[in-house]
Structure 1
Amino acid sequence: MKLLSGLDPRTLLLILPVSLTCMILFSHNITRDLAFILYLFILLIASAHIASVIKQVLFLALAHLPLLCFDTPPYQSHFVALAARKGCMIFSTAKIILANISANKCIHVMQKMNISRKIIIPIAVCFRFMPTIKLEAGIILDALKARGLLSLKRCLLNPLLTFEIFLSTCLFRTIALGEELVFSLSTKGLDFNGKYFYRDVGFSYRDFAFGSATALAMLLVIYLPRAVS
């Protein structure tokens, strides 16, 4: 039973993202981060996602293992542990929101709050986007394991390199999926108001101004150091 499903969707949509943003920007203390992650884990358990909590606990333990094994761990180990904590915060927050708020309910609530369509549409797309990213991440992990690029030994000996390989692959796949979603939205005309849409394609004064500004900036970048020297 999902105990948070009885809450107003606006409560979760306002409180959790604000709390997450504050923790990411202003907290780099391991005790404070783990306390907030514990709070998110309790909410995940209340949302009937115990398996997700177990996986994240194992992931956090693996990421912090080098800090416990060495008296003076390298800075890469501290960076990997910090990235793992922030990643768990983001994933847990998204999981809680997706588990308790449907896309239709989210859109309906934001329409009642008179929020602009420019904000509603990206948020609605994110509800469809996050499960796809999760599926793609699983496929990437399986591919890395099949090629021998992901193992417990590599994670312990080269945690930063292993994380970099996984993250860079995820970023490239995320960019590709984002482009597909943008083209889909543009084709359906969701970025326009009204029932009929007409897009006039052609150069305007904005294109000329942008091109001129870019050319001027490039000239300054090329010739300014020579003039100073």
Structure 2
Amino acid sequence: MITIDPRTKLVLIAITVLFSMIIPTGICTCVWVFLVTLLGIFLGRIKKTIRAAVIFAVLWLVSIYVLPMLKGTAHTSIWVWLGLVFKCYPCCMLAGVIVGTTQISEFMAAMAKWNVPRTVVIPIAIIFRYFPTLKEDWGHISNAMALRGISFSPVCFFKNPSVVIDALYLPVLVTASKTADELSASAITRGIENPKRRTSRLDIRFKLTDVMVLFIFSLTFIGSAIYAGGYV
């Protein structure tokens, strides 16, 4: 297991977004997803990274073997959907790895090293805390409603839409609003608005690992651009 600087992760996100924008979907996308998979495994997020890679592989096989068998509207609809998925998948997969392996304290310390304005850092830090908390509340509500035989499944929704909305979706909306207020109050209580420069016990600095990761991803990006441009 390795660790890399949060700033390196942000650079990787930027490179991946640029990759998805300018590199056509093809074998280069598979190579990039493979790189992200290796990165996730080395960062310790093994199960979820492998699961995401398997899902990508299944979708890729569908596009190769199943899609050519379809005709008409079905072929066009699935082709457009898969094209969008393949464009977004590397970014979403890498984002999941980064969010799952980066603590808020590490992110704040890294942004302080870069002298990023606190007006930018504070909202991002609160967002990082917001979604995991909301996911936990979602799980509690789902478990409670499961005792009454109510779930988020499409079948249950079409059978009793009013009951599902009243018992599941409304509590989630109310919880989301309360969670936002509670996180904002918690951040203020911890002195997040203090204009003084914060100290940190975390050792945030670029290491050899960061250089190697950036080099590999940058080299792959350049190679993909050359390959996609027809120069090889």
TM normalised by structure 1 equals 0.56
Structure 1 residue aligned with 2:15: 19
On the 8 A contact 1:40/1:92 being kept in 2, the answer is: yes
Structure 1 residue aligned with 2:92: 91
Structure 2 residue aligned with 1:76: 77
For residue 7 of structure 2, the aligned residue among 10, 13, 26 is 10
Q: How far 1:57 moved relative to its partner?
A: 2.9
Q: Taking structure 1 as reference, are residues 66 and 93 closer, same or farther at Cα in structure 2, changes over 3 Å only?
A: closer
Of structures 1 and 2, the larger Rg is shown by 1
On the 8 A contact 1:47/1:99 being kept in 2, the answer is: no
One-letter amino acid of the counterpart of residue 180, structure 2:
L
Give identity over the alignment, percent: 19
Structure 2 residue aligned with 1:113: 114
Summarize deviations over 1:186-221 as a string: whole Å, max 9, x none.
Answer: 8965896669xxxxxxxxxxxxxxxxxxxxxxxxxx
Aligned length: 169
For residue 34 of structure 2, the aligned residue among 35, 38, 58 is 38
One-letter amino acid of the counterpart of residue 82, structure 1:
G
Matched, 1:63 2:59: yes
Summarize deviations over 1:13-56 as a string: whole Å, max 9, x none.
Answer: 2x212112202322331322222111100101111222113321
List aligned pairs for 1:177-216, cutoff 5 A: 177=176, 181=180, 184-185=183-184
Q: Taking structure 1 as reference, are residues 30 and 113 closer, same or farther at Cα in structure 2, changes over 3 Å only?
A: same
Structure 2 residue aligned with 1:162: none
Summarize deviations over 1:39-96 as a string: whole Å, max 9, x none.
Answer: 1001011112221133213322443454222445612212222333344323322233
One-letter amino acid of the counterpart of residue 51, structure 1:
K
- Could you list the structure 1 runs, at least 4 aligned residues long, displaced by more than 6 angstroms after superposition: 136-140, 190-193
Q: Which runs of 5+ in 1 are unaligned?
A: 150-169, 196-229
For residue 54 of structure 1, the aligned residue among 50, 54, 60 is 50
On the 8 A contact 1:66/1:77 being kept in 2, the answer is: no
Q: Taking structure 1 as reference, are residues 19 and 136 closer, same or farther at Cα in structure 2, changes over 3 Å only?
A: farther
One-letter amino acid of the counterpart of residue 18, structure 1:
A
Cα distance in 2 between the residues matched to 1:32 and 1:136: 39
On the 8 A contact 1:45/1:53 being kept in 2, the answer is: yes
Summarize deviations over 1:98-118 as a string: whole Å, max 9, x none.
Answer: 344311011012122211012
Summarize deviations over 1:160-179 as a string: whole Å, max 9, x none.
Answer: xxxxxxxxxx9xx79x8489
RMSD over aligned Cα, in angstroms?
4.0
Indicate the SS of the match to 1:57. Answer: helix
Cα distance in 2 between the residues matched to 1:20 and 1:8: 17
Indicate the SS of the match to 2:24. Answer: coil
Cα distance in 2 between the residues matched to 1:134 and 1:193: 29
Q: How far 1:132 moved relative to its partner?
A: 4.8
Q: Taking structure 1 as reference, are residues 48 and 184 closer, same or farther at Cα in structure 2, changes over 3 Å only?
A: closer
